[in-house]
Amino acid sequence: MKLARSPLAPPDFPDLPTVQGMVSATHSLGMYKTTRNDLMIVHFPEGASCGGVFTRSLTRSCDIDWCRDALEVSEGKASTLVVNAGNSNAFTFEQGLAKNEATLDAIATVSGQPKSECYLGATGVVGVPVRPGLIADVVPEVWPRLTPDTPWLDLASAFMTTDTFPKGAGRQVKVGDKTISIAGIAKGSGMIAPNMATMLSYIFTDAPLSPQQCQWLTSDQTNKSFNCITVDGDMSTSDTVMLFATGAVELSDAEMEEHFTAISDAIGAVFLDLAQQIVRDGEGATKFIEIEVKGAINKQSAKTIACSIANSPLVKTALAANDANWGRIVMAAGKALEPLNRDSMAIWIGDVLVAEAGQRAVSYDEDEATRAVSGQSIRIVVDVAVGSESATVWTCDLTHGYVEINGAYRT
């Protein structure tokens, strides 16, 4: 199915910085019955530290199981990353395990590194097994083509499924006369929901981070970004976010201590940029929606209410139709079953106060409210008036396009 580029897409793929200490290549496995590249291999010749967070789904793929175990066995060390599109290798049991074992054997042979330092990712259709040698058979062909010059656009495009545009983000941090680079790529468009919000994202840096720092940063920044987005409320079997740090730029302990916050913030900016791009590519999306809940008893309660609003089909379809039906926001906030003061709540859409003191605002103007929901970007603020904590999530509208894309997903 040929998909039109999302109207919320950025105009161009960004110019991402080179991350020292990694080589990569892409290849076509023919999973889409075309010559498009659907395999990405990244290698860290001198090794890398890494951290990862993965879907909490109980029907997760065997690739997820492998990565979780490998992180523990390797103590956060990485040599290679192998990711394919076209098949998620989920709900494939023995055949999926056989495919992974063959892939790992092939990578271990060419790299000379332990299997536990190789991480696997897969995205695409669920429940369809592939032959064990699908990737293993091409590893000897792809490995000699690994280069530090593979365009980030090629890597980001290699694991797209229903994405309408490749997603990339980068930042740099100056440390004296040295430059730390961070570059990330992601895929995701549908089957997106907070709880380790199908999406995959890989972030690379040449900063000298330890495995412990990588894991802490990945967990912390995911909670502020990928776990704050939703497209359709469906949690994938394959969700993965991993951070790899090659350490190719050497910094003293004093330099790291002085600049760790700046490096962390830059990594966090890449996480958030990629997460928001996924929302902007939500299947059939025409509007990017930010929802802030404030005045909550704690941050988790605020986030639960915000997600209830963001995942409501009634809210999302109203916004798709430029309908300022703020009563649906009231409904979605209440169904979260979190503490709120009904008679003191207030709601804003953009700069328009639509409700206050538990009822329609005295100043409410339907035309102004309609204006506030008619653009491509919408901001909703809900004050639940029981505390001082807040949370923000990002979502998109729900249109006929979502049904069309998912109705034709396997055809």
What pLDDT is stored for residue 132 in this prediction?
95
Domains of the chain: 23-280 (3.60.70.12), 288-407 (3.10.20.340)
pLDDT in tens, 174-198: 999 999 999 999 998 765 554 444 5
Average pLDDT over every residue of 220-243: 83
- pLDDT tens digits, one per residue of 5-22: 999 999 999 999 999 999
35-52 mean pLDDT: 97
Handedness of CA 276, 280, 282, 288 (dihedral sign): positive
pLDDT band at 283 (very low <50, low <70, confident <90, very high): confident
Question: According to the model, what pLDDT value does residue 403 have?
Answer: 78
What is d(CA 55, CA 224) in angstroms, rounded to the nearest whole number? 16
Our measurement of the distance from residue 234's CA atom to the centroid of its chain's CA atoms, rounded to an integer in Å, reads: 14
Q: What is the mean pLDDT of residues 106-122?
A: 97
Owner of token pair 């106060």: 353
Between helix 299-310 and helix 327-335 the angle, nearest 10°, is 130
Q: What is the pLDDT at residue 37?
A: 97
- 144: tokens are 């000699």
- Residue 139 CB contacts under 8 Å (≥ 6 apart), including other chains: 41, 103, 106, 107, 109, 110
Tell me whether residue 198 is one of the annotated catalytic residues: yes
Q: What is the mean pLDDT of residues 95-122?
A: 97
The pLDDT tens digits of the residues spanning 242-268 come to 999 999 999 999 999 999 999 999 999
Angle, in degrees to the nearest 10, between helices 299-310 and 313-320: 60
Q: What is the pLDDT of residue 232?
A: 66
Query: Which residues fall within 8 angstroms of residue 129, CB to CB, at 6 or more apart?
Result: 92, 95, 96, 99
Average pLDDT taken over every residue of the chain: 93
pLDDT tops 60 at residue 366: yes
pLDDT confidence tier of residue 404, bands split at 50, 70 and 90: confident
Return the minimum-mean-pLDDT range out of 101-115, 271-285, 317-331.
271-285
Give the per-residue pLDDT at 230.
Answer: 85
Condensed to tens digits (0 to 9), the pLDDT of residues 52-69 reads: 999 888 888 999 999 999
pLDDT at 342 > cutoff 50: yes
How many angstroms separate the CA atoms of 243 and 73, rounded?
Answer: 17
**Which of the following is catalytic: 162, 198, 240, 399?**
198
